Amino acid sequence: MSDALALTWRQYRLERRMFWRNPSAAFFNFLLPLLFLALFGAIFAGSQADLDVIVPGIAGMSVMSTTFVALAMNVTFLREQGVLKRLRGTPLPSGAYLGALALHAVTNTALQIALVVAAGRLFFGIGWPPLPLELLVFTVAGVVCFAALGVALAHAIPNFDSAPAYVNAIFLPVVVVSGVFYDAESAPAFLADIAQALPLTHLIDGLSAAMVTGAPLGDHLSDLAVIALWAAAGIALAVRGWRWEADRD
């Protein structure tokens, strides 16, 4: 067990170094959500009610981008380039490698949430989260859910060239419909109904409670339940569809 943990930690450190050596990856994982936050913060600077929606919305989008988007793209790339296939022939245990990838995504999510929380406190009139434990609970739930869904989506992507199209075809509509930039309850009825079926809407509701309104976790158990259902479906699909080699047929 100790050897597996040591190998996981070593691979995790390698993943972190490779990440920071790729400026574009760092930009889309960290700077892009902050640019959205700055843009919409400037637009709604005169309305604290709108800022109270934007900050947790961007936090929810950050969770999805650093897990769902990143893992869908990375797993597809590693599979199509033969990295996963070669991995099976190395002494590095598969669990250690995959655990390092997951821990890498979790680290990016934690850093992104910390940046959004700090920006909300310093620039957008949002206090420090009144319910930090609830913030942790919903962040962890969001990470598990969207990480599983990202890996599951990777199984449906035929090659890496098409990966951005597949990922953005899901990510962008979900972000728009789920109320990242506006209160989803004020949307037309048909969009509100769609939003209620999506996990990002419920993640944002939970983050809003933890970061802004201070509503207790007991008031948002239904949000956790929806996220958990999506997470269970994602895990099942990710495990069932997993393959180490690219499908060349």
Query: What pLDDT was estimated at residue 63?
Result: 93
- How far is the C-alpha of 78 from the C-alpha of 204, rounded, in Å? 31
Q: What pLDDT score does 6 carry?
A: 85
Tens of pLDDT, residues 124-177: 878 889 989 999 999 999 999 999 999 999 999 988 889 999 999 999 999 989
pLDDT band for position 25 (cuts 50, 70, 90): low
Classify residue 51: in a domain, yes or no.
yes
The band of 74, judged by pLDDT with boundaries at 50, 70 and 90, is confident
Spatial CB neighbours of 136, under 8 Å, sequence gap ≥ 6: none
Please report whether residue 53 resides in a domain.
yes
Query: Where is pLDDT greater, at 235 or 38?
Result: 235
Dist CA 14 CA 226 (whole Å)? 35
112's CB contacts (< 8 A; 6+ apart) are 29, 30, 33, 59, 62, 63, 65, 66
- pLDDT the model gives residue 248: 57
Q: Whole domain around residue 66: which residue ranges?
A: 2-241
Residue 248 lies in a domain: no
Quick check: is 246 in a domain? Answer: no
User: Is 159 inside any structural domain?
Assistant: yes
- Percent of the chain surpassing pLDDT 70: 95
- Taking only the tens place, the pLDDT of each residue in 93-125 is 777 888 888 888 888 888 889 989 998 888 887
Q: For the chain, how many structural domains are there in total?
A: 1
Residue at 226 is within a domain: yes
H runs (alpha helix) in the chain: 2-20, 23-26, 32-43, 48-64, 70-80, 83-87, 94-123, 132-156, 163-177, 189-196, 199-208, 221-241
Residues 136, 117 contacting (CB under 8 angstroms):
no
Residue-level pLDDT at 19: 79
**Residue 128 maps to a domain:** yes
Q: What is the pLDDT of residues 186-240, one digit of tens each?
A: 778 888 888 899 999 999 999 999 999 888 888 889 999 999 999 999 999 988 8
- Is the pLDDT at 1 greater than 70, yes or no? no
Confirm whether 88 is domain-assigned: yes
pTM for the whole thing?
Answer: 0.89
Instruction: Measure the CA–CA gap between 63 and 37, rounded to whole angstroms.
Output: 14
CA-based max dimension of the chain: 59
